Structure formats: C-alpha cells, structure tokens
Amino acid sequence: MSQNKQASFTLDGKTIPYAEGQTIIQAAMAAGEYIPHLCFNPEFKPHGSCKLCTVKANGRQTASCTQQPQPGMVVESDTTEINDERRALLQMLFVEGNHFCPSCEKSGNCQLQATAYELNMMSPHFDQFFPDRPVDASHPEYLLDFNRCILCSLCVRASRDVDGKNVFALSGRGIKSHLIVNAKSGRLADTDFTGYDKAAHVCPVGVILKKRVGFTVPIGSRSFDEKPISATPHPTVKGA
C-alpha cells in the first residue's frame, strides 16, 4: 500500500477508511455507520465493558470500541448471530436492574431502551432480579436512581477525567458491582457535584436526572421517538 493512500477495512461489506489510532467503532461512526454500543462515548477513552459493540474482526469476536482495525480487515457487525448475542446482553441488563420504562423520565431519550428497540428486544426473556436499590434524592438539583444503572462507568470517567472530582465510582465485584458516590455518607448532596459537571450529562440511561425538568418534552416527542438510534448522531456529537 502506498504511503498516501488511506488505509481501510470493510464493515459488512462497506469500505471504511480509518486513521492511525482510530478504533473500529470510531472509524465506523466517522463514516456514518452504526454499531450498537452503550458504554462507548466518542468523547471518552473506551472502557470495553458492555460488549454491545462486539463485532467479528477477521472471524474473531472483539469489542469494536477497543479494537484497532488492520488494513483490509473484514469486520462483520449487522449479522443475525451477533445481533442475537447483543439482544441477550440487553436482556441481561434489563433483568439485572429495575427498568420500568413507563415510569422513567428518560424514556424516549434512553440509549438502553433505544438500542433494545433497534435490536427488536420484545421481552426480557430471563427471570427478573428485582433488586432493591434505593434512590438518592439528597442533592437539590439532581436525582440518582440506581435502579437503572448499567455500570457503563461514563459518569465515573467524566467526573474523574473531565471534572477532576471523582464523585462516582464502581464498587464491589461481579454481580455485586454497583455505582457508589464518593462521600462518607454515600449521598450526592455531600459531594461537590454540580449541574455544570460533565458527569451530569453523560448517563446513557435514567440514573443521573436533573430535577423538575423530567417531562418538559413529553413522552412521544423525544429523540428516539422521532428516529431510531441507528439514524441519530451520538448525543455528544450532535451538530458536529
């Protein structure tokens, strides 16, 4: 390959150019292609934890948010096999928490819900865990509803890497992993968290919610009511 010819790989048969250092999902997004994802956000270093963005690269499964492409790599994403596995991952996320969309302020703007629509998730399939996760309404401006946390760690990364505050952390291991607030009391009100923090605006689901604006935009007129997530630019790159 000559020096000035841009390297490329194929995604479901389409040629996708990429720059040195880009991962598969970054190059795909830049080319306007959608690969389902939840913990990936183009503004943050990939975390590689939700596995929704799994693709087959040269026949091997890998997270496309962390995998860099190779010239001529054959990447498969929108296949029955991979979408079936993605749907099963979503179903596990749904039963592990308490995801009751009809009573959630984030409904219609929720990436978990929109991704489940995209992948035709008609039921949770598995048995519900119905965990007990009390909400934290201590902060005057923001509410934390842990019932909906999918452990994407975007708030952790935003608070630590952008805000320099370390308000959030993931604690525990395996099935006991959960989101915590770094305060002696464990309450958001006892941290220096504010609505100006990046961490206040990155939650892909309905955990970190600004109070008193929940239904300003009525259900039915929200982002993913208008267009499916595959046709919606990432919230943080909208208008880019």
Partner 1 sequence: MNAPVKKLKVATTSLAGCFGCHMSFLDIDERLLDLVQLIEFDRSPLTDIKHCGPCDIGIIEGGLCNAENVHVLREFRANCNILIALGACAINGGLPAQRNHLSLAAILEEVYHAQHGLVDGFIPNDPELPLPLDKVHPIHEVVKIDYFIPGCPPSADAIWKVLTDLLAGREPELGHGLIHYD
> Considering the complex, what minimum distance in angstroms separates the CB of residue 42 from partner 1?
23
Q: Which amino acid is at 183?
A: A
Q: Which pair of tokens denotes residue 198?
A: 């990046």
Binding mask 111-150 vs partner 1 (x if CB under 8 A, - otherwise)? Answer: --x--xx--x-xxxx-xx-xxxx-----------------
For residue 80, state whether it binds partner 1 (rule: CB under 8 A): no
- DSSP secondary structure string, the chain? --TTSPPEEEETTEEEE--TT--HHHHHHHTT-----SS--TTS-----S-TTEEEETTEEEETTTPPP-TT-EEE-S-HHHHHHHHHHHHHHHHHTT--GGG-TTTTS-HHHHHHHHTT--S--SPP-------B--SSSEEE-GGG-----HHHHIIIIISS---EEEES-GGG-EEEESSTT--GGGS---TTSGGGG--SSSSEEETT-TTSSPTTSSHHHHS-GGGS--GGGTT-
Nearer to partner 1, 4 or 120 (CB): 120
> Considering the complex, what minimum distance in angstroms separates the CB of residue 209 from partner 1?
15
Nearer to partner 1, 32 or 126 (CB): 126
Site for partner 1 in 10-39 (CB under 8 A): none
> Considering the complex, what minimum distance in angstroms separates the CB of residue 67 from partner 1?
29
Nearer to partner 1, 133 or 210 (CB): 133
The span of 34-42, 58-66, 195-203, 219-227 binding partner 1 (CB under 8 A) equals: 219-227
Nearer to partner 1, 49 or 115 (CB): 115
The span of 110-118, 138-146, 168-176, 182-190 binding partner 1 (CB under 8 A) equals: 110-118
If you count them, how many residues does the chain have? 240
What region does 236 belong to: left with phi over 0, alpha with psi -120 to 50, or beta? alpha
> Considering the complex, what minimum distance in angstroms separates the CB of residue 141 from partner 1?
25
Nearer to partner 1, 130 or 196 (CB): 130
> Considering the complex, what minimum distance in angstroms separates the CB of residue 80 from partner 1?
14
Contact residues for partner 1 (CB under 8 A)? 94, 99-104, 107-108, 113, 116-117, 120, 122-125, 127-128, 130-133, 219, 225, 227-228
